[in-house]
Amino acid sequence: ITGHDVVIIGGGAGGIAVAASLHRREPALDIAIVEPATEHFYQPGWTLVGGGVFTPEQTRRTMASVMPSFVTWHRCAATALLPDQHQVELDSGATLRYRALVVAPGLTLDWSAIEGLDAALGHHGVTSNYRADLAPYTWSLTQSMTRGRALFTQPPMPIKCAGAPQKAMYLSCAEWERKGVLGDIDVNFHNAGGALFGVAAFVPALERYIRRYGIQCRFQQTLIAVDGPARLARFQVTSEAGNDVAEVPFDMLHVVPPQRAPELVRTSVLANDAGWLDLTPETLQHTRFEDVFGLGDASGTSNAKTAAAVRKQAPVVADNLVAQLKGDPLPSCYRGYGACPLTVERGRVVLAEFGYGGELQPTFPDWVNQARQATRLGWHIKARQLPFIYWNLMLKGHEWLAGPDRRA
Query: Would you tell me which residues interact with ligand FAD (CB under 6 A)?
Result: 9-15, 34-37, 43-44, 46-47, 77-78, 104-106, 129-130, 160-161, 164, 262, 264, 296-298, 305-308, 310, 339, 341
To ligand FAD, the closest distance from the beta carbon of 129 in angstroms equals: 5
Q: How far is the CB of 46 from ligand FAD (least distance, A)?
A: 4
> Which residue number, 134 or 210, has a Cβ lying nearer to ligand FAD?
134
CA distance 226 to 115: 6
Name the β-bridge partners of 239: 242
Q: How far apart are CA 55 and CA 348, in angstroms?
A: 19
Smaller CB separation from ligand FAD, 151 or 304:
304
Cβ 391 to ligand FAD shortest distance, Å: 13
Contacts of 202 (CB under 8 A, 6+ apart): 342, 350, 352, 371
- The neighbouring-strand residues paired with 277 are 271, 299
Report in angstroms how near the CB of residue 310 gets to ligand FAD at its nearest: 5
Active site members = 161, 340
Question: Are the C-beta atoms of residues 148 and 252 closer than 8 Å to each other?
Answer: yes
Minimum distance between the CB of residue 180 and ligand FAD, rounded to whole angstroms? 28
Between 182 and 351, CB nearer to ligand FAD: 351
Q: Which is nearer to ligand FAD, 33 or 150 (CB)?
A: 33
> What is the phi/psi pair of residue 282, to 5°?
-80, -35
- Asked if 338 and 306 touch (Cβ cutoff 8 Å), the reply is yes
**Shortest CB 74 distance to ligand FAD, Å:** 8
Q: Residue of minimal CB distance from ligand FAD? A: 12
| Closest distance to ligand FAD from the beta carbon of 31 (Å) | 15
Identify residue 14 by its one-letter amino acid code. Answer: G
Beta strand pairing call for 292-294 and 95-103: parallel
The residue among 126 and 182 lying less far from ligand FAD, judged by its C-beta, is 126
Which residue, 250, 52, 218, 225, is CA-closest to 151? 250
Taking the complex as a whole, the smallest distance from the CB of residue 220 to ligand FAD amounts, in Å, to 23
Nearer to ligand FAD, 9 or 182 (CB): 9
Nearer to ligand FAD (CB atom), residue 116 or residue 294: 294
CB closer to ligand FAD, 83 vs 231:
83
